[in-house]
Structure 1
Amino acid sequence: MYSLSLPEEVYEALPRLKQFLSSLGLPLEKIQNSDLLCCCFVHKSYAADFKVAYDHNERLEFVGDAMLESVIAKRLFLDFPGMPESTMTLYKIALVREETLCKVAKKIGLHHQLFISKGEERNGGREKASITSDAMEALIGYLALDMGYLIMEQFVLDSIYPEINEVSKSPVKSYKTMAQEHIQKFYKHLPVYNDYDEKVDEKGNVLLFRSEIIAEKEVLAVGFGTNKKKAQEDAAKNYCEQLE
């Protein structure tokens, strides 16, 4: 069985975490790896508070990100047979973006279950969209790996996919699309994204990417993410927020 190293306090919270899953209608009898379950609630800031190199939920987040996109893409394809690929892409972006995941995470009470550092706690980290949305992806990753794809898929369809009703009420655009439209209008050319490895672990795995959105050799905004796509979208979001 895949084993992890976690603080004792996290293991002691297992009954509470199981109760949380039960409140979401998830079948506790399907739990095979309690370590993996506990890990999906541990933010990297909490693990970093200890001198021991404990595990945290970033790797589960990586899996969850891919699983979430696959479920949403499949559902959009089946539900909207006449929808062009470009529109499906925008709907998918709107459903998997940080704001949507944060909204759903808070709706189900996920943010109350997280283990975060004392510093993040003082700074309102439990309410931060980046932390709660990442935890949502980590939970999805856990469900896929431990309870199985079908249970994970149903969870996504029950909790996240219904947000399409809100998304469909207004024109759907990604931050990258909005940033591109604005930059084309004022700079008369497309923006360029420069991506960098911001944080790399001792094994050479990139933990955090930095992306710069550039026009006329000027850095207009900077973003961060656990993959290049997220970092670019974050940079575009930060650029758009400067325009408000």
Structure 2
Amino acid sequence: MDRVLTAEREADLQKLSSRLGISFNNLALLDQALTHTSYANEAHDARVQHNERLEFLGDAVLELATSTYLFKHFPQLSEGDLSKARASVVCEPALHRRAAEVSLGTFLLLGHGERLTGGAERPSILADAFEAVIGAIYLDRGFDVAREYVLDQLHEELVEVDLGENLKDYKTMFQEVVQRHPGKKAVYSLIGETGPDHAKEFRFSVSVDGKVFGEGTGRTKKAAEQNAARAALEKYNKK
């Protein structure tokens, strides 16, 4: 049985629903999408369900919606390039930006310690919650509505695919810049990893001569390295 929402919580969820542009039939789904594991663990109430299952579902919706779009709109791309494009479209920075745009963090239910340490603003938590929201939209309104919402939210990233930005190999580009100086080499280091096994997030730094030029996160080590190299390119070029 779903937990009973207070009038205040229901009003907050209606406010968020309006910001999302989605009218929910069952606000309990949206509430669950915004419930972090830390809150559920502290609640000691079986009716309080965290959002990891909805995150799992939302991730699948994101993948199918973007994969279908890329397949239909970019017939010239190979399987490998389609995979690269999808990974760059459905990435933590993009999902975090969309979550921040609707102030998703203010609606999150977090455990006491998680909130005190800035969990409401942490990119990984916000990105995961946004995926869970997409899962909730899918269950509540169906795949067609969820697909259109995903494509609308990731419009800018899809435009970048059309411009060819998403297929750039930033690691290679950064290495080429570094090698203009004899003896210089880019070194990538794993500086952290978070999340459960099914949704690991890796954080890498890239340095030259011991000086860090960029950091990046990703659901795979390769993606995190690419994002670190992308950040480093801009900084290194300004050196």
The match for 2:35 among 24, 30, 42 is 42
Structure 1's 129 and 63: CA in aligned 2 closer, same or farther, altered over 3 A?
same
Percent identical residues? 31
Report the equivalent of 1:72: 66
- List alignment gaps of at least 5 residues for structure 2: 176-194, 205-216
Amino acid paired to 1:36:
L
TM-score normalised over the length of structure 2:
0.68
Cα RMSD of the aligned pairs, angstroms, is: 3.8
Write the distance in 2 (CA, Å) between the matches of 1:181 and 1:52: 51
Instruction: Show the counterpart of 2:126.
Output: 132
Question: Who is 1:121 aligned against?
Answer: 115
Distance 1:182 1:22, change over 3 A: closer
Q: Does residue 14 of the first structure (1) align with residue 4 of the second (2)?
A: no
Q: What's the CA shift string for 1:16-40, capped at 9, x where partnerless?
A: 2123212332234xx1x33222101
Counterpart-to-counterpart distance in 2, 1:71 and 1:102: 18
CA separation in 2, counterparts of 1:24 and 1:231?
A: 28
Are the equivalent residues in 2 in contact too, given 1:72–1:161 (CA < 8 A)? no
Q: Report the counterpart of residue 79 of structure 2 in structure 1.
A: 85
Name the structure 1 match of 2:44: 51
Displacement after TM superposition at 1:68 (Å): 0.3
In the alignment, what sits opposite 2:88? 94
Q: CA deviation at 1:98?
A: 0.8
Matched, 1:165 2:155: no
Deviations 1:164-218 (A, max 9, x none): 23466574359xx7679999xxxxxxxxxxxxxx86xxxxxx666598x9xxxxx
TM-score by length of 1: 0.67
- What amino acid maps onto 1:115 in structure 2? L
Pairwise CA distance, 1:109: 2.5
Partner of 2:145: 151
Q: Structure 2 vs 1, CA of residues 102 and 210 (structure 1 numbering), >3 Å: closer, same or farther?
A: closer
Q: Does the 8 Å contact 1:40/1:142 carry over to 2?
A: yes
